[in-house]
């Protein structure tokens, strides 16, 4: 028998239609209108008159197999066997009759999954891979998320913000969490400490030198071995040299802090996308509950809730009142470190989602 050629393993996103609720498949692109009967429930009516209800619940995002089984059992027994996840790790159950909605909500809440996250609520926090999958995190992003969402539970299950609030968390300054109305990101405050014994064996030195955005790294010979050195007056503590060269250790329990950024927005709705701006720096990276971060986030949310006009996103609110008023209202200290005087960026960076060639 001739050997069979080994076929490539296709990876990437599978075709979503095969998993879709049949009513969604039948009416794809043919919806007439929709509304929200209550927080956490979406109601869509198709051109044909067919109706579907979607019940949205929060999950812990990094799901163990037992929780996934539990959610699938709920889908089989109390919904119609179809679920989907939103990009913020909310799970959605789709049912084709209004009578199934309340019993499903009761079962979800009984099992500890809050129903909400729609409309003008604080939806689930998008967070980065952290300790589970990434090799460079300086904090446990999912832990920060868990502690914060425990405190923002009522804002998830109610829609009482001026507009939707999207929070993100990133466990290093690469910021996989993306732009958020409020972003909680790690901030390194000291240049990397170099283990010179390992650099020559592990790191491709020219790549590491090329990686530094401010040209602070130079090749060097230390103790007779090829290594690197950092000009600490130039280093901006970004951490970019650490992924290609782990001996340039930048994570540190004392000096890796958390920073809070405000006013980022990915969507093109009403106003163009915006980059979030630093508002609080040097907060302690304080597991397991990160109380200092929670206090600042809750304060910003409270002021936004009280002061923003209806339908103003965080960035639009700050644009209207101005940053000085923002710092006044939130009582966050404004320091010289908040002023971005770096001249290396183009004026707009990638603040538009349009593709440019
Ligand atoms: S934010 Fe940084 S540490 Fe976290 S997953 Fe992304 S690259 Fe890794
Ligand atoms: S931390 Fe950033 S700025 Fe500092 S040496 Fe490394 S790459 Fe350069």
Residue 179 contacts residue 266 (beta carbons within 8 Å): yes
Res. 342: pLDDT tops 70: no
Which ligand sits closest to the CA of 228?
Answer: 2
Tokens 């998320």 label which residue?
145
Residues 188-192: what's their mean pLDDT?
94
Buried b (16+ CB within 10 A) or exposed e, 314-332: bbbbbeebeeeebeebbeb
pLDDT of residue 140: 87
Q: What ligand 1 atom has the least distance to the C-alpha of 170? A: 1
Q: Which of 89, 35, 80 is nearest to 57 (CA)?
A: 89
331 φ/ψ sector (left φ>0, alpha ψ -120 to 50, else beta) = left
Closest residue by CA, ligand 1 atom 6: 176
CB 285 within 8 A of CB 256: yes
Mutate to test the pocket of ligand 1, among 136, 139, 141, 186 (most ligand atoms within 8 A of CB): 136
Ligand that lies nearest to the alpha carbon of residue 236, given by its number in the listed order = 2
Ligand 2 pocket by C-beta < 6 Å: which residues?
Answer: 191-192, 211-212, 214, 216-217, 230, 235-241, 250
- Write out the two tokens for 197: 């014994």
pLDDT given for residue 347 in this prediction: 53
- Count of Cβ atoms closer than 10 Å to residue 349 Cβ: 8
Per residue in 241-290, pLDDT (tens digit) is: 999 999 999 998 899 999 999 999 988 888 889 989 999 999 999 999 99
| Torsion angle, alpha carbons of 38, 42, 46, 49, to 10 | -40
137 Cβ below 6 A of ligand 1: yes
Q: How far apart are CA 144 and CA 177, in angstroms?
A: 13
**Cβ within 8 Å of residue 273, ≥6 positions away:** 179, 265, 266, 267, 351, 352, 353
Whole-angstrom distance, CA of residue 196 vs CA of residue 219: 11
Nearest to 157 by CA among 107, 90, 101, 99: 90
Q: CA–CA separation, 314 vs 302, rounded Å? A: 12
pLDDT computed for residue 350 by the predictor: 45
- Helix (H) or strand (E) holding 184, with range, is strand 182-188
Q: How confident is the model at residue 295 (pLDDT cuts 50, 70, 90)?
A: very high
Q: What is the pLDDT of residue 158?
A: 97
pLDDT digits (tens, 9 = 90+) for 215-235: 899 999 999 999 999 999 989
Structure token digits, residue 198:
């390992």
Q: Whose CA is nearest to atom 4 of ligand 1?
A: 171
Instruction: State the closest ligand 2 atom to the C-alpha of 242, by its place in the atom list counted from 1.
Output: 6
pLDDT at 352 over 50: no
Contact (CB, 8 A) for 234 and 214: yes
Q: Which residue has the higher pLDDT, 195 or 141?
A: 195
Residue 351 Cα distances to 125, 178, 274, 315, 319, angstroms: 21, 12, 6, 13, 16
């Amino acid at each position: 028998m001739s050997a069979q050629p080994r076929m490539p393993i296709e990876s990437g996103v599978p075709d979503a239609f095969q998993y879709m609720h049949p009513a969604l498949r039948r009416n794809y692109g043919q919806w007439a209108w929709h509304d929200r009967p209550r927080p956490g429930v979406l109601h869509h009516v198709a051109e044909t008159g067919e109706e579907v209800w979607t019940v949205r619940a929060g999950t812990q995002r990094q799901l163990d197999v037992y929780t996934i089984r539990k959610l699938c059992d709920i889908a089989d027994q109390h919904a119609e066997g179809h679920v989907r996840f939103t990009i913020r790790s909310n799970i959605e159950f789709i049912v084709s009759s209004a009578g199934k909605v309340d019993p499903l909500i009761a079962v979800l809440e009984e099992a500890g999954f809050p129903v909400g996250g729609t409309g003008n609520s604080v939806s689930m926090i998008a967070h980065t891979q952290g300790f589970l999958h990434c090799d460079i995190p300086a904090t446990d992003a999912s832990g920060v998320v868990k502690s914060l969402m425990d405190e923002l539970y009522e804002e998830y299950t109610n829609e009482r913000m001026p507009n939707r609030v999207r929070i993100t968390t990133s466990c290093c300054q690469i910021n996989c969490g993306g732009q958020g109305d409020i972003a909680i990101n790690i901030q390194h405050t000291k240049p990397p400490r170099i283990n010179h014994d390992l650099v020559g064996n592990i790191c491709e030195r020219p790549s590491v030198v090329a990686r530094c955005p401010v040209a602070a790294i130079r090749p060097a010979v230390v103790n007779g071995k090829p290594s690197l050195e950092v000009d600490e007056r130039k280093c901006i503590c970004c951490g970019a040299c650490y992924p290609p060269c782990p001996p340039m250790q930048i994570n540190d329990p004392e000096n890796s802090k958390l920073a809070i950024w405000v006013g980022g927005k990915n969507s093109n709705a009403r106003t163009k996308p915006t980059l979030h701006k630093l508002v609080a720096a040097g907060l302690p990276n304080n597991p397991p509950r990160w109380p200092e971060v929670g206090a600042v986030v809750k304060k910003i949310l409270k002021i936004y809730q009280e002061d923003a006009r209806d339908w103003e996103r965080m960035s639009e609110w700050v644009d209207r009142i101005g940053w000085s008023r923002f710092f006044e209202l939130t009582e966050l200290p404004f320091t010289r470190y908040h002023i971005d005087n770096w001249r290396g960026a183009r004026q707009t960076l990638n603040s538009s989602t349009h593709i440019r060639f």
